[in-house]
């Protein structure tokens, strides 16, 4: 059975410093710093990269929280004071993705630099997967987003107060947040090897030897979606279409979009 870290690291007066909040801050700082470094390395101006990534992160945070609040609207209608309690948990990756992209595009338009979108997106690809992996560790501390009960050796113990309705009699559960974090780190390694060092996909078809702009970002987004779709198999969540959850349906849609956009970018190079 896996141990879980404490929810609160230290209390100062009436203010709790929570593990989730610290890990979220670490994910943000790591993602921003690495993305900015990669953008500068790729020849983009420091001012443009800093401005875009800063506001993209702000937009991502707003979108992530808004997405979660919408998902749990019934709860927040009677708990309005908790809408802004981000450090306690409750963020939606897909909401963050929409918010971050919209904010980034607005800043690019302001700088009249829309043509730099894919270069900046590619610079954020590897940091995105690393940040997602770090963020999932916060779910570990909060004892949330876990999976179905299991007797496997790596099952995580969930305190009674955090067990979902209908699962109060079970003790150990699948650590689906850990599954997703590990898969994202694997995707990060693959991305670095295939796209960052080799600058090409390993394929027998010579027509794919040139990697189009946006390939790194599209791979990262598709890989995250794949990892999320896989871990949802064991995660306790509502099923909307047969045995598929909302996150799995969104993941299928995002993978399809990433594949279509990649082919479009590749065809632009060929032509």
List, for residues 39-65, the tens digit of each pLDDT value. Answer: 988 888 889 999 999 999 999 999 999
Comparison of pLDDT for 3 and 119, the residue scoring more:
119
Question: Who contacts 206 (Cβ-Cβ below 8 Å, separation ≥6)?
Answer: none
Task: Output the DSSP codes for 25-52.
Answer: HHHHHHHHHHHHHHHHHTT--HHHHHHH
Q: Which residue has the higher pLDDT, 70 or 242?
A: 70
CA distance 216 to 230: 21
Query: What is the pLDDT at residue 87?
Result: 66
Element (H, E) at 105: helix 93-110
Of all residues in the chain, what percent carry a pLDDT higher than 70?
Answer: 91
Share of the chain above pLDDT 90, in %: 61
pLDDT band at 75 (very low <50, low <70, confident <90, very high): confident
**205 — pLDDT class (breaks 50, 70, 90):** very low
pLDDT in tens, 113-160: 999 999 999 999 999 999 999 999 889 988 999 999 999 999 999 999
Q: How would residue 198 be classed by pLDDT, with cut points 50, 70 and 90?
A: low
CB 10 within 8 A of CB 23: no
pLDDT at 16 over 60: yes
Residue 271 has pLDDT above 70, yes or no: no
Per-residue pLDDT averaged across 4-9, rounded?
80
């Amino acid at each position: 059975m896996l141990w879980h870290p404490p929810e609160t690291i230290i209390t100062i007066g009436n203010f709790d410093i929570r593990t989730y909040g610290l890990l979220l801050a670490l994910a943000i700082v790591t993602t921003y710093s690495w993305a900015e470094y990669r953008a500068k390395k790729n020849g983009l101006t420091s001012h443009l990269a800093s401005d875009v990534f800063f506001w993209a992160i702000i937009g991502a945070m707003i979108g992530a929280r808004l997405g979660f609040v919408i998902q749990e609207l019934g709860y927040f209608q009677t708990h309005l004071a908790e809408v802004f309690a981000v450090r306690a948990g409750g963020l939606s990756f897909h909401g963050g993705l929409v918010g971050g992209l919209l904010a980034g595009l607005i800043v690019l338009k302001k700088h009249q630099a829309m043509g730099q979108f894919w270069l900046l997106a590619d610079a954020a690809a590897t940091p995105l997967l690393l940040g997602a992996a770090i963020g999932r560790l916060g779910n570990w501390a909060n004892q949330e987003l876990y999976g179905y009960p299991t007797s496997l050796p790596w099952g995580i113990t969930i305190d009674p107060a955090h067990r979902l309705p209908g699962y109060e009699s079970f003790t150990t559960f699948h650590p689906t947040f850990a599954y997703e974090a590990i898969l994202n780190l694997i995707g990060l390694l693959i991305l670095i090897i295939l796209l960052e060092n080799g600058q090409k996909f390993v394929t027998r078809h010579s027509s794919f030897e040139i990697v189009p702009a946006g390939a790194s970002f599209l791979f990262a987004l598709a890989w995250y979606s794949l990892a999320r779709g896989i871990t949802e198999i064991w995660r306790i969540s509502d099923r909307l279409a047969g045995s598929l959850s909302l996150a799995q349906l969104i993941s299928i849609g995002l993978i399809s979009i990433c594949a279509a956009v990649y082919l479009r970018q590749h065809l632009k190079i060929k032509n």
